[in-house]
Structure 1
Amino acid sequence: AGGGHTGPGDKYEPAGVVHRREFVHTAEEMDQPGRLSFHTDLWRGMTVDEAYYRHKLRGYDRGGPVGDR
């Protein structure tokens, strides 16, 4: 198997087998904005540092959101 996202469904609905040396994220973790694309980048060969930099919230000085808080 190539791995990847199991698709939508109930969090308690079985979606496959986990083999040794694999890990699973909870449904709540995967619901966090950007989580799936972050892990897709890792799966495609980016380093953790590269994926983190690509997905971290940018500050105002680098084009990030502007608000009153």
Structure 2
Amino acid sequence: MRAVFSLLGLLLVVAVVGVLAKKQLSSGVAPATSVDAPAGVAVPAGTPKQQLQQFEQAVQGAMQQRRPMPDEAQ
């Protein structure tokens, strides 16, 4: 009896998740963003490839900086 209720509960959860996923996927294309950005929000410049290169350069620059070493005198 308990196995039947467990199975029915599992099927109910799968059905709910399926309905929600279908609703989310069929909602359409994301709305187009306007050129005017809200105040305080930076608009990315360049192509995605250029943005990726800029990000990688920023990460490499951060990795090259020396960390301050703590004083070893005790």
TM-score, normalised via structure 1 length = 0.28
Structure exhibiting the larger radius of gyration computed from Cα positions:
2
| Higher fraction of helix | 2
Larger RCO (CA within 8 A; separation ≥ 6): 1
